[in-house]
Amino acid sequence: MDLTEYCELKHICPPDHTNDSINITINEVNKLLENGWVLIETFKTCYDEKFTNIQKVHFILGYPTQRRALEKISGESYDELMKEALSDFK
């Protein structure tokens, strides 16, 4: 894996094991994915040997360097650029 493909990385995991925290984390990850971030890796950890059935899921996401470069050059979002480009094929 070449991490230079990403200009920004995020590590997201719920702060605790409550359903609210887990749902907030899932919504945050989904929002990032909808906005062009790429899911690079997921992994689980267990920090308490007494409660091995309680694990945290970690999400590693990256924002593609090329996508950010296109946005900076054009001053438009990547999604808007793609809509314009695809409209020529209709």
Other CB atoms within a 10 A radius of the CB of residue 17 amount to 11
Whether the per-residue pLDDT at 72 is higher than 80: the answer is no
Structure-token pair, residue 12: 């997201």
Mean pLDDT of all residues in 45-71? 79
Tell me which of 53 and 28 has the higher pLDDT.
Answer: 28
Whether the per-residue pLDDT at 34 is higher than 70: the answer is yes
Residue 51 confidence class, pLDDT cut points 50, 70, 90: low
Q: What is the pLDDT of residues 1-17, one digit of tens each?
A: 777 888 889 999 998 87
